[in-house]
Chains A and B, each alone.
Chain A
Amino acid sequence: MTPDLAIDIGLAVLVLGVAAWTTVVRESFAAVVGFVTYGLLLALAWVRLHAVDVALTEAAIGGGVTGALLLAAAARLGPAEDRTPGDRPGAAPRLLAAVLCALVSAGLGAIVLLPPDPAPTLAPAAVASLPKTGLGNPVTAVLLAYRAWDTFLEKAVLVLALLGVWSLAPDALWGGRPGPAYRAQRDGALALLARVLPPAGIVMGVYMLWTGADEPGGAFPAGTILAAMWILVMRAGLADAPAVGRRSLRVALVAGAVVFLAVGLSGLATAGAFLAYPVRFAKPLIVLIEAPLTFSIAVTLGLLAAGPPERGLPR
């Protein structure tokens, strides 16, 4: 057995083990901690699959921002859920569910073991058109040039999800500040990290945005890292979450989508199609889209993690 294979087997067993533990552990809080570990291990698996862009996104979202969101939820829901776990199905239905789920796994496993040969791939096509985009990273080219429409709609989905979260606020609190008020801590690990990490994190996020054109990175991991820094500062009580009714906040949320749409529409005149770029200006236009997109993603993810408005407008 080669060392590489040994590492892969260990990683796969660890991922499955942590996932199983997350499923069966009694306490909700422990399950969330298990899930964060799962996200980080999964990011390592992505590196092993030569998908570093995905690994960065998975580590930042699966291990970072989702963890922050779920830990806050577990702190509020967990004790009640642990105390009254509800109607857990009996042994027979659980066994039936286990058998059926194992069948689903077995079916998927069979597909993995009996793959089509040769494997279908769009890699040559993606590389062939790369010079026209001026980019060096084919994943960024797919996200912002070949399949820009998907990315644009994804940004719209993020804003729609945020509207969904906000709409859960009671009428009286509409437009107020999201989440509970976190008291500022004078010392302790959280207060220290919330002061020390953001400067480095912001530089890293901006770097990742810039380098994403040619190397692994790009708008999504960059935006997520910026969002994580903001969440950290909010949770430590160093800065309060902004009232969701603020006009400047609304502008920040839609800036990415608006610039994206404007460049996309200008493509009708300059390149003959919606979301097409004239070849000579492809790279500057992509960077022009990515910068506000990153900012808007950061604001949206931060507010999604903060939750619906729970406090009224300051009078």
Chain B
Amino acid sequence: MSAATLFGLCGAGLVGLGLYGLVVSPAPLRKILSFNLLGGGVFLLFGVVARRGAAAGLGGDPVPQALTITGIVVAFSATALAVALALRLFDATRRPDERADEPSADGGS
């Protein structure tokens, strides 16, 4: 079995795992994490397509590789927006008694 096929199957498994987490996790942060797992799997499938297209002395087709780089950066910006929405939702909907024991964000994480 070639490395491309192996990581292709790995990517297919990651898509299924991410999808499962996205469907069954009720917490927004876990949904965001699962969505990123799914995204990583999709990107890996792109990488397999690129590796199969190795030609002209290159280790892979540069077009899907470049698309993946674009995709990773856009996925990060979407994740940042989703995290900001989740934090805002949390601030807007939590009960007053939950505010007291909020962990201090001071001192870094």
Residues of A at under 8 Å CB distance from B? 4-5, 8-9, 12, 15-16, 19-20, 22-23, 28, 31-32, 35, 38-39, 42, 45-46, 48-51, 53-54, 57-58, 61-62, 65-66, 69-81, 85-89, 93-94, 97-98, 101-102, 104-109, 111-113, 115, 119-124, 126-128, 138-139, 141-143, 146-147, 150-151, 154, 157-158, 161-162, 164-165, 168, 179-183, 185, 190, 218, 220, 224, 235-237, 297, 300-301, 304-305, 307-308
Which of B5, B47, B79, B80 makes the CB contact (< 8 A) with A51? B47
Residues from 6 to 62 in B contacting A, C-beta threshold 8 Å = 6-21, 23-30, 32-34, 36-37, 40, 43-45, 47-62
A157 to B55, CA, bound (A): 32
Complexed CA–CA distance, A77 and B43 (Å): 28
Q: Which of chain B's residues has its CB closest to A117's CB? A: B52
Q: Decide yes or no: A16 and B14 within 8 Å by CB, A46-B47, A57-B72 being known contacts.
A: yes
Please report the C-alpha to C-alpha distance between residue A141 and residue B47 in the assembled complex, in whole angstroms: 18
Other-chain contact of A150, B37, B57, B61, B70 (Cβ < 8 Å): B70
B contact residues, total (Cβ < 8 Å): 86
> Assuming A73-B87, A142-B63, A185-B107, is B33 touching A22 (CB within 8 A)?
yes
Interface residue ranges, B against A (CB under 8 Å): 1, 3-21, 23-30, 32-34, 36-37, 40, 43-45, 47-63, 65-70, 72-74, 76-81, 83-88, 90, 94, 98, 101-103, 105-109
19 additional A-B residue pairs with CB within 8 Å, beyond A49-B3, A66-B76, A237-B107: A15-B10, A16-B14, A19-B14, A20-B17, A32-B29, A45-B44, A46-B47, A53-B69, A54-B43, A57-B73, A62-B72, A85-B26, A101-B23, A104-B19, A105-B13, A105-B17, A113-B5, A138-B58, A147-B63
Contact between chains at A154 and B18 (CB < 8 Å): no
Q: Which of B17, B62, B72, B87 has the most CB of A within 10 A?
A: B62
Contact indicator A126/B62 (Cβ below 8 Å): yes
Question: What residues of chain B lie closer than 8 Å to A235, measured between beta carbons?
Answer: 108-109
Instruction: Answer whether A70 and B59 are a contact pair too, CB < 8 Å, given A112-B48, A168-B88.
Output: no
The 29 listed contacts between A and B (C-beta, < 8 Å) are A4-B3, A15-B10, A22-B37, A23-B17, A35-B33, A45-B47, A48-B7, A49-B3, A51-B60, A54-B47, A57-B68, A58-B72, A62-B36, A69-B80, A70-B32, A77-B29, A77-B90, A81-B29, A81-B30, A86-B26, A88-B26, A123-B63, A126-B61, A126-B62, A154-B73, A161-B81, A164-B84, A307-B80, A307-B87
